[in-house]
Structure 1
Amino acid sequence: MRIEGAVVGGYAAKVAGAADELETAAGEVGTTTAEAYGGLAAQLGVPESYTQAAHALRGQLAAGAAALRSVSAALEQLTAGHAERDSDAAERIKRAGRVG
């Protein structure tokens, strides 16, 4: 199987960037204050409901970011492993050429 290190490395960077975006979004969820809803909404429990929903969404965004960070790290390890094996193979070929 042929692995293009630059392509996989670029994809790893994109995945890490997506994780950053999710973390940013998680930090922005739930920043609305109870006063923003007004008196009637407060009586109906809208701020509390929104707070619960925002908490759940922050958790989901954080979990998504963690999953993407894990994927990015695995892709980086894959790229590094293939680059190391390619380097080792090139060195063996050079040595074989000198011996033969």
Structure 2
Amino acid sequence: MTWVLTAKPADLQLLHVGDASGTIKATLQQAASDLSTAGFAVSTQVIQGDPRLAIPEHVVLQRFDLLALESFRSSRLKSMILGSLTSDLARACQVPILLC
């Protein structure tokens, strides 16, 4: 027996925390266009603030089911001293996190 599972494509929001330069906006719009072509409903948003505070707050306000993050590589020493954004978000967010 073969099962074929289909699901409604997810609604996605591409979020950038920080300055909204033309390059950032263009990058977000291009990514949104690519995802839209693939069948996803996509929105983009740029917000200001410290990502360690702004992202968890945004996750709650927007009722996200999942947070997908790009995993940045940094030096082990820097991570030990300053901590990593990814680690901080994993502790602060109450939704599953997918590291890409």
Query: Does TM, normalized by the shorter one, top 0.5?
Result: no
More strand by share: 2
- The alignment's TM-score, normalised by the length of structure 1, stands at 0.25
Larger Rg: 1
More helix by share: 1
- The alignment's TM-score, normalised by the length of structure 2, stands at 0.25
